[in-house]
Amino acid sequence: MATRSPVILNQLGPVVGARIAAHPCRPTVLAHGVGRAPWDLPAGVEVLLTRPLIGWDAAPAKLPPGWGEGLRWIQSASTGMDFYPPWLLEGRHIVTCARGVSAVAIADYVLTAILSFEKRWGAIRLRGPEDWRHETLGGLSGKRLGLAGFGAIGRAVAERASAFGLTVGAVRRSGWVVPEPGVEPFGRLEDLAAASDHLVLALPLTAVTRGLVGAGLLAQAKPGLHLVNVARGALIDQQALLTAIDSGRIAGATLDVTDPEPLPAGHPFYSHPDIRLTPHVSWSDPDFDRRLGDRILANLDAYTRGGPLRDVVNASAGY
């Protein structure tokens, strides 16, 4: 049975920390010390609020001896769990993620990327009267949007895409037991890529999905495809993508994620005219901390009552 006043280590910053500290269970909230490794837990910590990019990439490959004794719950600020060491998902503690917290912001980013691609937003800027010329721009109505992954992000993208007249198709890891209104189900990503004008990657990175978009899939894609990746860079074989764009098979790509992040200086993606790079910001909006805080507080309510938590991570699946 969970205690009424847990000791919580907060690695999510002061905004979230202040909201957690005001919870009626009167928790003891400890701030993450400057320079302290994220896995270095003070004695007595029962709940860990953490996020990926604070040093977890330097975590030891094996579970440190005695690590997590007394730890009962880990809440991640991210949806994907691939940044963490595998042992973080193991043990007696529950791990929950922030599934869906950024879905609206990411969906807005995706539609911005698609509109910018079709309307050639960066290419038609006037710099003087000599640039005044007729241009034929693309449109969204009647085009097909393919969604590789149909969780909270996929649903939010589909809702917005339908309003623009896009036909929406999707593949999902769990298959299609019940039809989704307005979404054409596909069984294979290859078939979806062959039928889509824009293909959005919204999948978790696992051993199964790593390198999923490679030379074989790109060769089967519809000529002129625009690829949008808001998931993880390692889903794509980046050299294969570069080759497919240079050959003209793929018209362009909008990449909010790469492998690694950031790409090294001089990487061809930085200067390629048909690739738009952004620095992993599709999730960002002014309300992120509020929504994340709401999610954590709801889980903290359940935790202090001994009830089930929302968005529990499946350790064997990795998400």
Q: Which of 51, 232, 276, 295 is catalytic?
A: 232
Tell me how many degrees the CA angle 194-195-198 measures, rounded to the nearest 5.
95
> From the candidates 280, 290, 291, 310, which is the catalytic residue?
280
d(CA 149, CA 154): 6
Ramachandran bin of 253, using left for φ above 0, alpha for ψ from -120 to 50, beta for the remaining angles: beta
Residue 317 sits at φ, ψ, to 5 deg, of -80, -25
Q: Do residues 30 and 46 touch, judged by C-beta distance below 8 A?
A: no
Cα(130)–Cα(126) distance, rounded to whole angstroms? 8
Number of H helices, E strands in the chain: 8, 12
HEC string for 59-84: CCCCCCCCCCCCCCEEEECCCCCCCC
Please identify which of the residues 69, 90, 120, 261 carries the catalytic annotation.
261
Q: In terms of Cα–Cα distance, which of 100, 193, 91 is closest to 146? A: 193
The total number of residues written for the chain in this structure: 319
CB 152 within 8 A of CB 131: no
46 labelled catalytic: no
Residue 277 CB partners (closer than 8 Å, separation 6+): 255, 258, 263, 269, 270
* Residue 190 known to be catalytic: no
Return the closest-CA partner of residue 233 out of 278, 181, 272, 299: 278
Residue 32 annotated among the catalytic residues of the structure: no
Would you say 190 and 166 are in contact if contact means Cβ atoms under 8 Å apart?
Answer: no
Residue numbers annotated as active site:
232, 261, 280
